[in-house]
Structure 1
């Protein structure tokens, strides 16, 4: 299964690229509510052909964006 890292900056994108099996995608998360982030992330994956309608995606993120080590949320989402 593909592992996709949505990076908020080119620096984060380059760091993610060091992990084996991870595809990093530049994705702007500034000034975005959590529900909007979920919808836009799924739309980005669909646009890139990574996810299709009916797929399930595990999304992890932090409540405080740009905080190192702040991942505290895991959601299983269905692509509509």
Structure 2
């Protein structure tokens, strides 16, 4: 079955800061996933969540490999 161009990305593939599909998703202390570069830049000047505006307990970032895999699969056209 032929498709007519790429589908719109699922909303959870989008970085809340960049409003674009994440390239290196990671989870911050607020439980939300962000593109690593965007959240690292945010954390240089902010101690609050970009989504909830609540204080972050820490500035640790955990790679979100499951989300990265899903994004790569979507980009390949399999989703």
TM, length-normalised to structure 2: 0.28
Higher strand share: 1
State the structure with bigger RCO (CA 8 A, min sep 6), 1 or 2.
2
Larger radius of gyration: 2
Higher helix share: 2
